[in-house]
Amino acid sequence: MSQHVTPADQPAATAAVPDLTSDEVLARVLSSLDDDKAEDVVQIDLRGRSAMADYMVIASGRNARQVTTIAEKLAERYKQATGRSARIEGKDAGDWVLVDTDDVVIHVFRPEVREFYQLEKMWMPADALTRLRHEPQLAGH
């Protein structure tokens, strides 16, 4: 026996949210960081080097409050664009906040914390690090 389903029995339809590519997510991340005045933004292509994400972005805020605000706004904008929530860690301390969108992992640091951990050294190819050292304007200095 077939069951007749009326519109009232169906869940409310949600607005269709486009499925963004990792490049589109990266572009939105970089735009959000720029909007919120993040400093020394570096993007690292992880495709073919790590299964955790396609890109890593590292940025700095001037103080704990700005670091937290940058991360919160980024997560809000990501949710508006995709309908999915990003995972956030470290927001309470504001020294180093990680925002994980699956395709792009974003690290927002206070400058002295960023200098201590030096994630760029760990993840960037050696030739890119050499270019950053010799062309400081590319690193945002």
User: Residue 126's domain is classified under what CATH number?
Assistant: 3.30.460.10
Residue 38 resides in a domain: yes
Kindly tell me if the per-residue pLDDT of 52 is higher than 90. Answer: no
Residue 33 belongs to some domain of the structure = yes
Report the candidate in 103, 106, 107 with the shortest Cα–Cα distance to residue 21.
Answer: 103
Number of domains present in the structure of the chain = 1
95 falls within a domain: yes
β 55-60/96-100 pair status:
unpaired
Of 10 and 75, the one with more pLDDT: 75
Whether 2 is in a domain gets the answer no
Section 64-89 average pLDDT: 96
- Flag whether 7 is in a domain: no
Is residue 57 included in any domain, yes or no?
A: yes
pLDDT at 17: 56
* Structural domain for 70, as ranges: 20-139
pLDDT at site 57: 96
Residue 68: inside a domain: yes
Average pLDDT of the chain, as a whole number = 83
More confident residue, 16 or 105: 105
Residue 49 lies in a domain: yes
